[in-house]
Amino acid sequence: MTYIPSADRYKKMRYRRCGNSGIKLPEISLGLWHNFGGVDVTENYRKILHLAFDSGITHFDLANNYGPPPGSAEDNFGRILKEDFRGYRDELIISTKAGYTMWDGPYGDWGSKKYLVSSLDQSLKRMQLDYVDIFYHHRPDPETPLEETMNALDLIVRQGKALYAGISNYPADKAEKAIKILKELGTPCLIHQPKYSMFERWVEGGLLDVLENEGVGCIPFSPLAQGMLTNKYLHGIPEDSRAARPTGFLQTSHLTAARLSQIKSLNDLALLRGQSLAQMALAWLLKDKRVTSVLIGASRAEQLADSLKALDNIVFSADELAQIEVILAP
C-alpha cells in the first residue's frame, strides 16, 4: 500500500530557526540510534517513520555506526526513504555523523580527513542519497589537529556531499575553537548535538552561551536520560528495561536510591502539570530558546505519539522551575 503523508502535517508542528542560518527544525526531531537496525522489525520502524512525518517531523538523525550491526540503520532508512518518501526528499533534513569506530585499521575511527570523507561516502551509498543535509563530526579527536577535522567538514560541504556542517559531544572550549575555524573557512557550523537532560546538564557550564554567541543551533540527544526520565523506573527496575541489560548504556548502578527519589518527585510535579514525566522532561529542554530541537528515539509509534504531546505545554512557571531545581539539587 502506497504511503501518503498527512495533508495537514505542517500544522501539527512548530519550527525553530537553527542559530543564524536559514534552516528551521521541528521542535522534536527523530533519532535512529536505536530500533532501526538489522535486528529490528521493518514494519515497526516503518510505522514510526510514517507517524513522524505525518506529525510534521522533518528531521531524521543518523550516524554511520547506528544499528546494530553498525551501518544497518542507514541501510534500512535508505530503503524506506526510497520506497515511501521518494517524492518528499526536499521536505526532509537528513543528518549523519562519523567519529566512532566503523572499520578496522587506523583510518576507521576518530577525526582524520581520510576517515570522515570515506565514512560519508559509505553512508551516502547505504542511504542511496547524493547528499545529506547535515554532516557531523561525532566526537572530538584528542590526537588529530582540530584544523584537519574542520577542513574535512569544509571540504565535504564544498563537494556537495553535505549542505551543512555540525559537531557533536564537543565541550565548550573545543566547540568554540571548531566554530571559529569553520567560520574562517567559509563553512559556518550550523548546529551542535550534545547530551543534555535534567540529569545531564554540563552544557549549561558554558556551551549554551558559546552557541548563542556564535549563532549556532543546539539539538540535545538523550533528553530522557536513557529512559530514567520516564515512568519506567517509578517502582524499581523492570526485567525488560535497559538498566537490566548488562551491556547497555544505562546500568543499575545509575539508579541509586537518591536518583529514584528524584524520579518520583519529578513525576509528581509532571502529573500536576498534566503531563507524563517524559513529556515534562522534553518540555523542560524546549523552554530554553537556545535549544533548536530535541532529538528523541522511539521503539514504537505509540511511544512517539506520546512524546509529541510534550509540545502541548512547554511553558513553566517560576515556581515549577524552582521546584525542579530543588529536586535536582545534589
Mean pLDDT for back-to-back runs of 10 residues, the chain (330 residues): 96 98 98 98 98 98 98 98 97 98 98 98 98 99 98 98 98 98 98 98 98 98 96 76 55 82 97 98 98 98 98 98 96
Domain of residue 213 covers 9-227+279-313
The answer to the question of residue 195 being in a domain is yes
pLDDT score recorded for residue 129? 98
The answer to the question of residue 326 being in a domain is no
Helices (H), the chain: 42-54, 72-84, 113-127, 146-158, 172-185, 207-214, 257-272, 277-286, 301-308, 318-328
Split into its structural domains, the chain has a count of 1
Residue located via cell numbers 584544523: 147
Q: Residue 133's domain is classified under what CATH number?
A: 3.20.20.100
C-alpha cell belonging to residue 4: 501518503
Report d(CA 285, CA 219) in Å as an integer: 10
The answer to the question of residue 186 being in a domain is yes
DSSP state of 211: H
Report d(CA 153, CA 129) in Å as an integer: 18
The answer to the question of residue 273 being in a domain is no
pLDDT score recorded for residue 243? 53
The answer to the question of residue 271 being in a domain is no
Report d(CA 178, CA 146) in Å as an integer: 7
pLDDT score recorded for residue 310? 98
Residue located via cell numbers 548488562: 246
The answer to the question of residue 68 being in a domain is yes
Inter-residue contact 100 to 66 (CB < 8 Å): no
φ, ψ at 161 (rounded to 5°): -85, -15
Q: Which residues contact 73 (CB under 8 A, 6 or more apart)?
A: 32, 33, 36, 37, 62, 63, 66, 67
The answer to the question of residue 216 being in a domain is yes
The answer to the question of residue 235 being in a domain is no
